[in-house]
Structure 1
Amino acid sequence: MRADGTAPGRPAPGGPDPGEVLRGCAREVLEVAEGIRAVAERTATTLRASGLTAARRPRTGLAARWALLRALTGGQGLGEPAGTTADGPRGGVARVLGAAGRALGGESLAALVALTSLRLRVAAVLADHPELAHAPGMRLLTRAVAADRDRDAVRALRALLHDRTAQRALSGLAPLIAELLAVRDVLDGKSETGGAAGAEGGAEAVDLADQRRRTLATEGSFLGFLRNIEVLSTDGRILVQNVRGPDGVVRYVLQAPGTAPGRPRSDAPQDLVGAWRDLCGTDSPYTRSLTRAVAGHGIPRGAELALIGHGEGGNAVLNLAQDEEFCRTYRVTHVIAVGSPAGDRKPADPRTWVATVTNQFDLVAAPDGGRAAPGACGTAVDHTAPAAPATPADHTHPAPTPSRPGRYDVEYAGPSREFPLCHRLREYIEHLRTLLPVARADIDEALTPYRGPVVRTQAYRLQDHAHPPAGHPFLTLATAPVRTTVGPVDVPVRYYDSAAAHLCFPVDPDAARSLLPDAPWLTPSRLGRRALAVLSVHEHRCTTIGPYTEIALSVLVDDLWRPRPHDAVTDLLRRVDLRRTGRYVLSLAVTTEAARVVAREIWGQPALRMRVEADLTGREIRARSQDLGLAVEGRLGPGVRCPDADRALYGRRATSTVRTLVRAHGGLRLHPGAGVRVRLGTAAAEPLAGQLRRLGIDAARPLFVLACPQFMAHRGGGAVLAR
């Protein structure tokens, strides 16, 4: 305990914020790395100069060239692999030496310094938002930068930043995006974050399902437009509506959703740079696609148009308003961005009214995770809410500042600091409705020309012609919406990036039968004298219903109509849709409400919402749930490749059995189970704990483990059987 009464390692009252100090250090170290890279580039340019050995004393020139080469590629010098900087006809020797240096373990000094900057930045983010420590992207990143040797860490980080699947997880680390892009530039020796000149994009008119169409707003209003964006979710669709204003004139409203961490992208390149290119330039696949959607809608030249977006969609509409050609074609009257970095972007048409709404704790809109200083980012008004929900009287009436006419920026502190919760559009809508009624009324007043009946609604699916859809071709499927209590869900549900471990236990058949529903046709499959119980742990990092983790206990059961001996073995040779056996799900714990509702209402599985943490990407697998009182941990031994874990799952809905098919694609491996153990706490929660105890696997080791650190899957709708 220090003299001021604070614990060591904690900030002293009134002292500097640790996160801000670490961010400042990270910026300075990164500037040093960029300076080192610039020196290396100038050294390489001098090394390639033809006049270096054309002097009167060639020996002196050769000695100078040799000294430069040692400074560029030597372990005590810049450590810059010459193969990345020395081009042209005179760079052959440098390229050979650079390749040899890399093979012998050499790394760029700039890359090593940039690695230090990234480590500082990661520490700063975790100091402000410790909940991000459990994010899949953060785990991948910390595992890469925490290697024992700096050179190994640089190599792991370089591989991670070029892995498309890993980038999908990294895209959820909003406060680290700028740092990751800068570090990637240093590692590659080039810049890729500029404008996306020549970026491709397209838009195709599509019909909305009746369920979604019925939930769209029929009258123009600010919250109505935001709810439309929420209905579109983040599956690559935008909305254009024709609204007849109070004066009888038809105007047009473009509504653009953003991305959500843990959901697939289908509107822009699937890599880290493409996901955030809208922050760096006005010419991106998203903005090009928006332009083509507006053109395809048949909006007359000179017609009035309002642009509204959330998250990345807000970035796109702000950038679109800077396009002079677009603003000459259409009269952009309003641009409203919710949960997007406002910056100091000025529209091409000075008459355009710009509004932004930003939660100070939203790491997408405020990447540093702290409250902006008054006047920062062109702030015209500051609605600050206390930590607890406030009443409307706590917010002052905003008024645009004289220095920024036509600008209306709302910045407030929401009741929750957790990310990505504070970035969700549903949270912004609720805050505008309850915490920011004055700001909502002011924006609605500004949108008065668009307050009227909607006379036409058209959705457009955005396309990126330069890249295939995520998960193509395995996850390129026809889908259909299914109504649930959390809204329509597209089925099959697609899993773009998941990890799994299936712990398989031989159990007593009578104990397994006692846990199944009281139906004579549900009998456990026998493998010899034993039945098979499977405890499955899944970490779903990117799915169409959002990221979540699940723990499921199931028992292998026979064909419901004609059980036959050895079906469980012969089914391994059949396609999943032709299999007679399947696994009946006894218990299921999931971490999100959407996953719970989908499991219960579509698949008929007894899902409960629980807190679960899992890490299944390495040889050491861990899963823990304080709510369940359950822990799975251990080290996987040597494994052999085996076929993908396609399976049929059974559930129960009322008096009927529900059969669901799951198809998977990934590197599944079979491991002995000796190194993995299941542990139950004394206060473990029912029903899972009781079922594990009755099966005798509450403190047992599995016979074998089927594990896959990364795979894709799709799970169809539940087929109701008359059994």
Structure 2
Amino acid sequence: MTAEEGALLRAAARELVEVAVTIQEAAVHATEALADGASPALLARAPAAGVRAEQALTRAVIDPRGLGYSPAGGRLATLAARLGTLAGAESLAVRVLASSLRLRIAAVALDHPELSADPILTRLIEAAAADRDIEAVRAMRALVRDRGVVRALSALAPILGEVLALRALLDENPLNDATAWLIATGKGYATADPLLGLSNRVVAALDRGAGAARRAEPSAGEAALLGTRGSLLDFLGNIGVLSNTGRALIQSVEGPDGVVRHVVHAPGIRARSVDDDSPQDILGAFSSSVLNSSPYTRALAGAIGDYGIPEGAEVALIGHSAGGAAVLNLAHDPAFCARHTVTHVVAVGSPIDFKTPADPRTWVASVTNQHDIIPTLDGQGAGACADLHPDWYVVDYTDPTHLFPVCHSIEHYLGNLTNDLPEARDHIDARLAPYRGPVVRAQTYLLLDEATGAGEFPFLSVPTYPLSPVGPLGPLGLPGEPVEPVEPVEAPVRSRDGGAVTAWFAADAAIAARLAGESGAGPLVLAAGRALVAVHAAVHRRSGLGDFREFQVGIVVAGPGHGGFLGGWPDLLRPGAALRRSGDLSAAHVIDAEPGVAGRAAAAGLWGGEPYDVPVDFRLGRGAAHVAVGGPGERVATLRGTLGPHLPVPDRDLVSYVRDGERVLRRCVRAHGRARLHPAPGLRLTAGPSAHPLARLLRDLGLDGARPLLCLSSPTRRTLHDPAVPLPY
């Protein structure tokens, strides 16, 4: 089939939608007439004619030769319709609408030949269209087994809305029928989950918060990367610099006419957590998509208020992913538009089909990759036949990268607009011409659900005190390094965001004992005659020392005193650090701090020892972890692989013993967050070819290429780092 035939298919699908809506409206009128008893006046004058009229209406509503089983409107009719759905009864309107969806899938397949060329996808689509539930489930399982969840969703993305609507229309679940009609007709966003019928508003209501914004300066490296002139690529590049860190950016740009205008940058979701203190979490993305106001929207409004944009000033709103939905919510707010003139909204990879700006003069551009799943959260995707916003500038494209979430990243959209979509880029840039000029002011904001410091209260709301650079633990410099004047460090060090992975390995007890030496930190904790070695990797963001990463190898010890007849195991299982004797005797510690932050020196002063200064790359996903120590040219160690099945558990405090000259110090890190215990992790620890002491240590312990016995992952956590204290002996 040709592209012209595809256009004809879409036109036919649109006409079928109109027919289905007409049939459904006729069913409503017929059912209402039945509820009114046909015509009481007719029954009174001619009972026989009245009965025949009522019978005709009844047949029209419930007879397959008429409208099918189509009662609609009113409580009784709705109940009857749902009972009929459970019994497998179909209506003519549903059959017509299902035909429309099948035509739309065929039309999309013209632009995406991979859909019809893939036998598993074809099997899945045909099973869903024919209402063969078991076959559809088997096909989906085969697709996931063959490609994995990510690739399966990426392959389905262009027709995901149509396939889900078909299933919702043809299954026996009455709770998702309204959603199917909304998706298929384009009359509104999906009000419920199309599979189970769970109300979207119920889920979105879980995202509570007044929204707040707090000024937060970017790091030196970030500040150097932020754009200094106004253009589409600069604005999207700024969002890429902010990344998904819970922040937003406002810039003031002096235009070619000398007028200062303002640009609000709103990044996408922070996918590490379902619900944390940031409105950019997954719940925030969902509520921003299905509601016209959310904590994300209100937090952006708070940032704009603090920034002090003058009333009546011109503002452009730029957003990616959930940020696009949030900025369009702002433009939808009549009160906001009364204070400011919203001239432009540019949303990239955002579900915004059912949002409209309050000011009809606001120019809106939407850029979406057809294999990006996020823009389909509102029920409309590449296969939609309705032109919902003929006055918008819509760029709906595809490229060879079909893999989600790669195709959703702001970097990927930026690359497409730079290299593959020059016409769209130039058109949007031309419309943004009033914002083309030097940046004269900029401010970064940390966005929060609540204004009361929700990111700190109550866990991080503890007494703090300044710790002098020269104190009981000595200067903050390392041996051989000059001590420069340093501002006091706030103790305990509070880390407002981060993640961690701890893996426990079995090692030769004799070698571990030799490395531990006479530390005074207690005997080794043994498992089946083998020593336990803990490898801990973590990233700490927005802390009192800036952002930093660490990697530690420790030999598990029972603590001062003896381990008892169970070798310290009961104490090791204590959840909190306050009364725990057992911990990890640090054999190697790496601190990788941001440029310009004295994180390594401060670590030496706060926690003792001599941490190594080596780059650490820390990445933790839902099912995998990747930790690399050392640069690409000199890899020291890696810990990476799948995490495997997990059990939800509270996060675990860290107790470490550190040798510092003649003393042994005890360090505690108190953690708060959700953690996952992985009893059968697929991680592997590898020592690089480097001559670094850390690599030699792993080889000496026999851990090069080893797999852990157990693993604990914490994708989102807050931590309190107490200063290390000497053991009392």
Give the TM-score normalised by the residue count of structure 1: 0.51
Query: Where does residue 178 of structure 2 map in the other structure?
Result: 189
- The 5 A counterparts of 1:285-324 are 290=300, 294=304, 298-302=308-312, 304-311=313-320, 312-314=322-324, 316-317=326-327
| CA 1:717–1:431: 2 relative to 1, 3 Å | farther
Query: Where does residue 204 of structure 1 map in the other structure?
Result: 212
- Give distance in 2, aligned partners of 1:457 and 1:623: 33
- Give distance in 2, aligned partners of 1:577 and 1:34: 68
Contact 2:638–2:688 at 8 Å: present in 1 too? yes
Query: Where does residue 258 of structure 1 map in the other structure?
Result: 267
- Give distance in 1, aligned partners of 2:413 and 2:517: 44
Q: Can you give the 5+ residue segments of structure 2 that lack an aligned partner in the other structure?
A: 116-123, 141-148, 170-175, 183-187, 192-200, 383-387, 465-492, 544-548, 604-610, 629-634
Contact 1:649–1:660 at 8 Å: present in 2 too? yes
Query: Where does residue 447 of structure 1 map in the other structure?
Result: 435
Where 1:569 maps in the other structure, the secondary structure is: helix
| CA 1:610–1:101: 2 relative to 1, 3 Å | same
Letter of the 1:193 counterpart: Y
| 2:497 maps to which of 493, 496, 503 | 493
Asked if 1:532 corresponds to 2:532, the answer is yes
| 2:447 maps to which of 445, 452, 461 | 461
| CA 1:67–1:431: 2 relative to 1, 3 Å | closer
| 1:150 maps to which of 133, 136, 152 | 133
- The 5 A counterparts of 1:422-433 are 424-425=409-410
- Give distance in 1, aligned partners of 2:627 and 2:521: 34
Deviation at 1:536, TM superposition (A): 9.6
Asked if 1:569 corresponds to 2:556, the answer is no
- The 5 A counterparts of 1:371-386 are none
Where 1:254 maps in the other structure, the secondary structure is: strand
Q: Can you give the 5+ residue segments of structure 1 that lack an aligned partner in the other structure?
A: 1-14, 103-107, 130-140, 158-165, 371-375, 379-403, 481-488, 617-621
| CA 1:111–1:149: 2 relative to 1, 3 Å | farther
Q: How far does the alpha carbon of each residue in 1:446-499 deviate from its partner, in whole angstroms, 9 at most, with x for none? A: 435x63633x8474736589xx9999999998999xxxxxxxx9924346xx9x
Q: How far does the alpha carbon of each residue in 1:573-595 deviate from its partner, in whole angstroms, 9 at most, with x for none? A: 45234423235688999xx999x
Deviation at 1:222, TM superposition (A): 1.7
| CA 1:715–1:112: 2 relative to 1, 3 Å | farther
Contact 1:505–1:534 at 8 Å: present in 2 too? yes
- Give distance in 1, aligned partners of 2:698 and 2:225: 49
- The 5 A counterparts of 1:313-392 are 313-314=323-324, 316-317=326-327, 327=337, 329-332=339-342, 334-335=343-344, 337=346, 339-340=348-349, 348=359, 350=361, 363=372
Contact 1:235–1:266 at 8 Å: present in 2 too? no
| CA 1:464–1:515: 2 relative to 1, 3 Å | same
- Give distance in 2, aligned partners of 1:658 and 1:431: 52
Deviation at 1:266, TM superposition (A): 0.7
| 1:274 maps to which of 287, 291, 308 | 287
Query: Where does residue 579 of structure 1 map in the other structure?
Result: 580
- Give distance in 1, aligned partners of 2:659 and 2:163: 47
- Give distance in 1, aligned partners of 2:36 and 2:640: 68
- Give distance in 1, aligned partners of 2:449 and 2:261: 22
Where 1:510 maps in the other structure, the secondary structure is: helix
Where 1:256 maps in the other structure, the secondary structure is: strand
Contact 2:586–2:659 at 8 Å: present in 1 too? no
Where 2:283 maps in the other structure, the secondary structure is: coil
Deviation at 1:644, TM superposition (A): 3.8
Letter of the 1:222 counterpart: G
Where 1:576 maps in the other structure, the secondary structure is: coil
| CA 1:668–1:39: 2 relative to 1, 3 Å | farther
Query: Where does residue 223 of structure 2 map in the other structure?
Result: 215
- Give distance in 1, aligned partners of 2:536 and 2:7: 40
Contact 1:659–1:719 at 8 Å: present in 2 too? yes
Query: Where does residue 484 of structure 1 map in the other structure?
Result: none
- Give distance in 2, aligned partners of 1:644 and 1:369: 39
Contact 2:665–2:725 at 8 Å: present in 1 too? yes
Where 1:189 maps in the other structure, the secondary structure is: helix
- Give distance in 2, aligned partners of 1:202 and 1:430: 35
- Give distance in 2, aligned partners of 1:412 and 1:90: 43
Asked if 1:50 corresponds to 2:60, the answer is no
- Give distance in 2, aligned partners of 1:175 and 1:588: 48
- Give distance in 1, aligned partners of 2:8 and 2:537: 40
Deviation at 1:337, TM superposition (A): 2.8
Query: Where does residue 163 of structure 1 map in the other structure?
Result: none
- Give distance in 1, aligned partners of 2:244 and 2:77: 50
| 2:652 maps to which of 646, 655, 674 | 646
| CA 1:613–1:127: 2 relative to 1, 3 Å | farther
Q: How far does the alpha carbon of each residue in 1:602-647 deviate from its partner, in whole angstroms, 9 at most, with x for none? A: 997988659999858xxxxx9999x9999989998xx9x8964524
Query: Where does residue 393 of structure 1 map in the other structure?
Result: none
Contact 1:557–1:583 at 8 Å: present in 2 too? yes
Letter of the 1:451 counterpart: P
- Give distance in 1, aligned partners of 2:318 and 2:622: 34
- Give distance in 2, aligned partners of 1:212 and 1:700: 38
- Give distance in 2, aligned partners of 1:555 and 1:305: 57
| CA 1:208–1:554: 2 relative to 1, 3 Å | closer
| CA 1:631–1:557: 2 relative to 1, 3 Å | closer
Query: Where does residue 509 of structure 1 map in the other structure?
Result: 509
| CA 1:118–1:581: 2 relative to 1, 3 Å | farther
Where 2:264 maps in the other structure, the secondary structure is: strand
Contact 1:678–1:698 at 8 Å: present in 2 too? no
| CA 1:445–1:707: 2 relative to 1, 3 Å | closer
Contact 1:362–1:420 at 8 Å: present in 2 too? no
Q: How far does the alpha carbon of each residue in 1:98-123 deviate from its partner, in whole angstroms, 9 at most, with x for none? A: 77999xxxxx9999999999999999
Deviation at 1:306, TM superposition (A): 2.9
Q: How far does the alpha carbon of each residue in 1:549-572 deviate from its partner, in whole angstroms, 9 at most, with x for none? A: x9x996651266666544332242
- Give distance in 2, aligned partners of 1:529 and 1:582: 18
- Give distance in 2, aligned partners of 1:528 and 1:201: 51
Deviation at 1:193, TM superposition (A): 1.4
Where 1:266 maps in the other structure, the secondary structure is: coil
Query: Where does residue 556 of structure 2 map in the other structure?
Result: 557
- Give distance in 2, aligned partners of 1:120 and 1:653: 69
- Give distance in 2, aligned partners of 1:441 and 1:285: 30
Contact 1:301–1:329 at 8 Å: present in 2 too? yes
- The 5 A counterparts of 1:666-681 are none
Where 2:573 maps in the other structure, the secondary structure is: helix
Where 2:654 maps in the other structure, the secondary structure is: strand
| CA 1:513–1:38: 2 relative to 1, 3 Å | farther
Letter of the 2:348 counterpart: G
Letter of the 1:648 counterpart: L
Q: How far does the alpha carbon of each residue in 1:507-553 deviate from its partner, in whole angstroms, 9 at most, with x for none? A: 54224446779978596323574433568999x9xx999xxxx9x99
Query: Where does residue 396 of structure 1 map in the other structure?
Result: none
Where 1:270 maps in the other structure, the secondary structure is: helix
Where 1:262 maps in the other structure, the secondary structure is: coil
- Give distance in 2, aligned partners of 1:26 and 1:698: 59
Letter of the 2:576 counterpart: R
Letter of the 1:150 counterpart: D
Q: Identity of aligned pairs, percent?
A: 22
